[in-house]
A = this chain, B = another copy of it.
């Protein structure tokens, strides 16, 4: 199946290209970017230089604009949210399947916001989209790794309250993103719109489909988001109040054994274990653990009792992989397995 990436030259776009270049199901045929990049080779169009190894054939490929006659059926969107709304809607009207990492449509009533291990039944919203093509979305980076961990807690013990403080990596802000003068020897305790995204997306992801709509989960959730001096890998201090009584070992057990359809189908981008529980007292840590399971796992540690809520723990995920491009590709792999595409 021929696929393309829109917004291919940004931080997330490059991660898409890297992950798709030798993909067993998808053939990357279109690299699409804004006017500034058109006609350039992909190598030259990428202002932000990464250490990702991109094949020579892709590096030399010409970047197209959206007005071009696109040679693909599926588009991955790494567009900035300000422009994603209109462009993705048009692509869907034009008959394309769009797997989007942008926030523009995530909370719309007929747009699935999906983590494959969590709520693949939400894909049924697709049929309520009145277009030839369709749009599916994956959550914000901070939400992805969080909800992957909340899901087995909700299923096994019932979630009542969730409080999360994030320490987010710089690559989450795109390129050029955060100025070095702002973040060296510093923490920035605010990320525009992020706390709202985490709270609302979590409730939608854990919600139920009823009459063709999502009824959001009934959980009190509070997020505080900070930017720290880390390249990639968001760390979260999570505390939860559960409906049922349990203990640390039972929680570890449920997290360790959690999996979903992607694992059963062994989808190409599915991690063998979507949640890794570490026992070392000081793990996970972003630089050491963000690449576990090729960046597709939520890595959990320090599960312990909490006197304010019930339990507290640490969650780490790779914001560009499970938090962005990898999430979107896994969604597409599942859509393909479920014959939506």
Where the two chains meet, the residues of A that have a C-beta atom closer than 8 Å to any C-beta of B are: 11, 48-51, 161-163, 165, 167, 170-171, 175-190, 220-222, 224, 226, 228-231, 235, 237, 239, 241, 281-289, 291, 301-302, 306-309, 312, 314
Also in contact, A307 and B231, with CB within 8 A (given A51-B288, A165-B237, A179-B176): no
A sample of 8 inter-chain contacts (CB < 8 A) reads: A48-B179, A51-B291, A176-B181, A187-B230, A187-B235, A189-B283, A189-B285, A189-B302
Chain B neighbourhood of A48, CB < 8 A:
179, 181-182
Closest B residue to A161 using CB positions: B308
In the bound assembly, the distance between CA atoms of A185 and B291 in angstroms comes to: 14
Q: Find out whether the CB atom of A167 lies under 8 angstroms from the CB atom of B184.
A: no
A222 & B185 in contact (Cβ 8 Å cutoff): no
Contact B181 A177 (CB under 8 A): yes
Whether the Cβ atoms of A309 and B308 lie closer than 8 Å is: yes
A334 vs B20: C-alpha distance when bound (angstroms): 38
**Contact across chains for B224 and A312 when beta carbons are under 8 A apart:** yes
Known: A163-B239, A181-B177. A228 touches B229 (CB 8 A): yes
Q: Distance (Å) between the CB of A106 and the closest chain B CB?
A: 20
Decide: A163 and B308 in contact? CB cutoff 8 A. yes
A237 surroundings in chain B (CB, below 8 A): 165, 189, 224, 226
B177 & A314 in contact (Cβ 8 Å cutoff):
no
Least CB distance from A252 to B in Å reads 17
CB-CB < 8 A to A189: which residues of B?
Answer: 235, 237, 282-285, 301-302, 314
Top 8 A-B pairs, shortest CB-CB distance:
A176-B179, A190-B282, A165-B165, A186-B287, A222-B308, A180-B180, A229-B229, A224-B237
Task: Give the distance in Å from the alpha carbon of A288 to the alpha carbon of B184 in the complex.
Answer: 11
A216 to chain B, nearest CB (A): 13
Report chain B residues within 8 Å CB of A307.
220-222
Q: A165-B165, A222-B309 are known contacts; what are 16 more A-B pairs with Cβ within 8 Å?
A: A48-B179, A51-B289, A163-B309, A170-B181, A176-B182, A184-B185, A185-B185, A189-B237, A189-B284, A189-B314, A190-B282, A190-B302, A222-B239, A224-B237, A224-B312, A228-B229
Contact (Cβ within 8 A) A187 B308: no
- The answer to whether B288 touches A162 (Cβ under 8 A) is no
| A182 x B180 contact (CB < 8 A) | yes
Q: Does the CB pair A222–B167 fall under 8 Å?
A: no
Chain B residues in 8 Å Cβ range of A301: 189
The complex places the Cα of A281 from the Cα of B230 at a distance, in Å, of 22
Alpha-carbon distance A187/B183, docked complex (angstroms): 14
Known: A185-B286, A231-B185, A282-B190. A170 touches B180 (CB 8 A): yes
How distant is the Cα of A230 from the Cα of B182 in the complex, in angstroms? 12
Checking B171, B226, B286 against A235 with a beta-carbon cut-off of 8 angstroms, the contacting residue is B226
Evaluate contact between A178 and B179: CB separation under 8 angstroms: yes
Which B residues are CB-close (under 8 A) to A49? 182, 285, 288
Q: What are the residues of chain B within 8 A of A231 when measuring CB–CB?
A: 181, 184-185
| A49, A183, A241 — most chain B CB neighbours (10 Å) | A49
Give the docked Cα–Cα distance between A165 and B228 (Å): 14
Interchain CA distance A125-B18 in the complex, whole Å: 47
Q: How far is the CB of A20 from chain B (nearest CB, A)?
A: 21
B residues near A314, Cβ cutoff 8 Å: 189, 224
